[in-house]
Structure 1
Amino acid sequence: MSAVRFTTAAAALLIAAPAALQAETHGMSLPEVGALTYGPRPAFLINQMDDGPLKDELTACLGQTPTQSAFSIGHRGAPLLFPEHTVESNLAAAQMGAGILECDVTFTEDLELVCRHAQNDLHTTTNILATDLADTCVTPFTPADGETPATAECRTSELTLAEFMTLEPKMDAANGAATTVEEYLDGTAAWRTDLYAGDTTLMTHAQSIALFDSFGAGFTPELKAPSVEMPFNGFTQEDYAQKLVDEYKAAGIDPSRVWLQSFNLSDVLYWIENEPEFGAQAVYLDDRYEASDDDEGLIDPMDASTFMPTMQELAEMGVNYLAPPTWMLVTLNDAGEIVPSVYAEEANAAGLTLITWTLERSGPLATGGGWYFQSIAEATDNDGVYFELLDVLAQDVGVVGVFSDWPATTTFYANCKGL
């Protein structure tokens, strides 16, 4: 089976798949990736860069032929322009050479695993509020009243799988000033687009396995924290973590192609103990910061006292992969240059393998880049800094993979550097 095409051989593998998996993928088209492409964005970013050796090196690579790279991880697909966790978003990521693709995993009322960033995000990522299923929302739509923003909360745990699959995906956004449902659903950021939001396709977790496998990609599912109290209908957290692994086993996927993820260290330790082949590549998503959009109350990446547990303790627990946000891995030196943070140095000293998130999620960088660039905001004044940050992460920090909302950028860099 080709790494970049869904072929007759891939179809034969699907036909031969276990009956349970065939049932899960029934009716889902497995599209062909075709020739890989970077599109215009890498060249656009290079043109924004300050003159220097890195710009010259990347410019010299503009004529290269794209190849799939495991360094390039599709963050929920390619949600810069496509609705996240859809077939079409992941096809776009695969067409840009992303070698690993992500399905964030949560569960429905009937305990089926589906791809959603959160169990309670349906009001911002689908059209549920404009359907009869709005009656299932735990917080009905409430319009803005001038002082209080519009609110709603809708969960997959209130829907059966059959009901979930009737929803239409949309770009993840909401208009807090809305006084109607229609206005609330129409909140896409100006630097994103609704151009590719129509006629996109939701996925179960099992369907994502079949789709990503057909692309020849690796898998990095994230077990999302439930919004409901666990156990839920007798479904424990351990059952949840195990069911995630069981769907890869049912599909016949080699554990070496799977990087399970969780912000819950207990999930990671469960996989290490109970599914050691999968646990060896389980990724602990580090959120040990007190994050806010106004950058207040944040930990200092230069302060090693904030590590709880320590990097060495994580390694001794059997954790091999650590994935913090990009800003925690870098800082600025006295000359204003981007350099590895103490956090990165401590992780490397403990022998932890680093992955990071998320490139191309901050929008235009002329005003400092926001949350993902907070530790280097003083050096962030143009979109070309995406490549400058990526270069430090790869060459100096030593990350082995970078999540991106537009994987062409990361694939281009990886191909140019031979990663």
Structure 2
Amino acid sequence: MYTVLVSGLLFGLASGAAVKRGGGYGYHKSLNVQVGVRPYYLVDDMDEGRLKHALQRCSEGPFKPSDFVIAHRGAPLQFPEHTLESYTAARRQGAGIIECDVAFTKDKKLVCRHDQCDLHTTTDILKHPELAAKCTTPFTPASGTSPATVQCCTSDITQAEFKSLCGKMDGFNPNGTTVEEYMDGTPYFRTDLYSTCGTVQTHDEYIDLVNGWGLKFTPELKTPKVEMPFDGYTQEQYAQDMINAYKKRGISPKRVFPQSFLPDDIFYWIDKEPAFGKQAVYLDERVDTPEGYENATASIPALARRGVKILAPAFFALTKVDANGKIVPSEYAIAAKKARMDIIGWSFERSGWLSIDGGGYYYDYVKEVINNDGDMYTVLDVLAQQVKIKGMFSDWPATLTYYANCFGL
């Protein structure tokens, strides 16, 4: 019996090691995509009707990865963003494309962070005194009516120092009088359950991980928060370095969707790296104000002539409510399609409860006709079937995977 037990234990350890060498836990070539309970909760919460019944008929799957499903920072609804654990969860949930927001460090290396200066809210840097002392703005606790202040940037530290950090759920408590209090600010609709010590990722690590899974990439060149050039490092070199990482590995440009909020980055890739530039995604934040929305809509034909092929605004800008109280494509969406441009929306599952203020920012143009979480699928259906978006970013990819598989996207 002892021999059998030992043999079994050694076999189990060997099997576990083999899986680990594949990039972490559960990395098998044939992945059984899991959507969990959330899509079912949302479908059950929907108003009765054609769409709800159609989604109910898909309840037992099977589910497979879809390029319609773009993992926004991984799966940050419950996992620390841009960490190995967050990316792993996104892959398990069926994301066909995974995002790395790209920022640079003090030694001009590329890492995955949503903002160049968010380390104080997304990592445990404040628990490392030697690194916290290097922050652009060291921590000052809240006092009286004055909130706590701090700013820690990737450009404050080296890549090696960055790799010593733990990722945490993005959030902070402005009234914190200690580091511990300040870091304890996870939004009500997320969780710290899986936020023990997220494994932060360099851009190279992200590429190797996603490439090993056979999925697609969407790296976003984050707008620098420091003056450029940074110690001689120009914006153009920054944009080129990001592309070079894929070229170095021989990755097909067809698998890469580089993004930026800066039009000049998009134009640089179109002109200097056309194989990658033709899939460059212009993240259009001009739509945030009524005047900006009108100007953005009017500029779409010119952007198309310049070579931009994919537009990506916040998805609220893609729909509106018509005179009959129906959710329909917006003027922006119609103009983009008229210009034969693809559209990607961002970001699903980032709003909390839709029953509170109609979902806030991401549902701003349709909030008058939505009142429950299940209405997320009502909006998504208009985006997919009428606006005909190419894909959607999501903080919880499983929600999109359920819909995408149900409708063959």
TM-score normalised according to structure 2 size? 0.92
Between 112-121 and 137-146, report the one with greater CA deviation.
137-146
Per-residue deviation, residues 241-279 of structure 1 (Å, max 9, x unmatched): 000000001111100000000000000000000000000
Aligned partners of 1:138 and 1:30: how far apart in 2? 36
1:213 paired residue among 211, 214, 223? 211
What corresponds to 1:372 in structure 2? 362
Structure showing greater radius of gyration is: 2
Query: Please, which runs of 5 or more residues in structure 2 have no aligned partner?
Result: 1-16
State how 1:67-86 maps to structure 2 within 5 Å: 67-86=64-83
- Answer yes or no: is 1:307 the counterpart of 2:296: yes
For residue 364 of structure 1, report the CA deviation from its aligned partner.
Answer: 1.0
- Answer yes or no: is 1:360 the counterpart of 2:349: yes
Give the fraction of aligned pairs with identical amino acids, expressed as a percent. Answer: 51
What corresponds to 2:376 in structure 1? 386
For residue 120 of structure 1, report the CA deviation from its aligned partner.
Answer: 0.2
What corresponds to 1:152 in structure 2? 150
What corresponds to 1:409 in structure 2? 399
For residue 147 of structure 1, report the CA deviation from its aligned partner.
Answer: 1.8
For the Cα contact (< 8 Å) 2:73–2:81, is it kept in 1?
yes
1:188 paired residue among 186, 189, 196? 186
For the Cα contact (< 8 Å) 1:30–1:211, is it kept in 2?
no
What corresponds to 1:32 in structure 2? 27
- Answer yes or no: is 1:199 the counterpart of 2:205: no
Higher helix proportion, which one? 2
Aligned partner of 1:148: which letter?
A: S
For the Cα contact (< 8 Å) 1:71–1:99, is it kept in 2?
yes
Aligned partners of 1:107 and 1:300: how far apart in 2? 33
Aligned partners of 2:196 and 2:224: how far apart in 1? 28
For residue 334 of structure 1, report the CA deviation from its aligned partner.
Answer: 1.6
For residue 148 of structure 1, report the CA deviation from its aligned partner.
Answer: 2.2
2:386 paired residue among 389, 396, 413? 396
Between 135-144 and 64-73, report the one with greater CA deviation.
135-144
For the Cα contact (< 8 Å) 1:206–1:247, is it kept in 2?
yes
For the Cα contact (< 8 Å) 1:149–1:177, is it kept in 2?
yes
Aligned partners of 1:70 and 1:250: how far apart in 2? 24
For the Cα contact (< 8 Å) 2:287–2:313, is it kept in 1?
no
For residue 306 of structure 1, report the CA deviation from its aligned partner.
Answer: 2.1
Per-residue deviation, residues 297-345 of structure 1 (Å, max 9, x unmatched): x3169x6x42276111000000000000010001111222211111111
For the Cα contact (< 8 Å) 1:212–1:218, is it kept in 2?
yes
Aligned partner of 2:118: which letter?
A: D
Aligned partners of 2:173 and 2:162: how far apart in 1? 23
| SS at 1:220 equivalent | strand
**4+ long deviations beyond 6 Å:** 7-11
Aligned partners of 2:132 and 2:26: how far apart in 1? 31
Aligned partners of 2:86 and 2:299: how far apart in 1? 37
| SS at 1:241 equivalent | helix
For residue 200 of structure 1, report the CA deviation from its aligned partner.
Answer: 1.9
TM-score normalised according to structure 1 size? 0.90
| SS at 2:233 equivalent | coil
Aligned partners of 1:202 and 1:31: how far apart in 2? 19
Aligned partner of 2:183: which letter?
A: L
For the Cα contact (< 8 Å) 2:171–2:185, is it kept in 1?
yes
For the Cα contact (< 8 Å) 1:127–1:170, is it kept in 2?
yes
What corresponds to 1:118 in structure 2? 115
For the Cα contact (< 8 Å) 1:93–1:407, is it kept in 2?
yes
Give the count of matched residue pairs: 389
State how 1:9-408 maps to structure 2 within 5 Å: 29=24, 32=27, 34-132=31-129, 133-290=131-288, 298-299=289-290, 305-307=294-296, 310-367=299-356, 368-408=358-398
Aligned partners of 1:163 and 1:409: how far apart in 2? 35
Aligned partner of 2:392: which letter?
A: V
Query: Please, which runs of 5 or more residues in structure 1 have no aligned partner?
Result: 1-6, 15-27, 291-297
Aligned partner of 2:156: which letter?
A: E
Aligned partner of 2:347: which letter?
A: T
For the Cα contact (< 8 Å) 1:10–1:214, is it kept in 2?
no
What is the RMSD of the two structures over their aligned residues, measured on CA atoms?
A: 1.9
Aligned partners of 2:87 and 2:68: how far apart in 1? 16
For the Cα contact (< 8 Å) 1:30–1:214, is it kept in 2?
no
Aligned partners of 1:276 and 1:156: how far apart in 2? 29
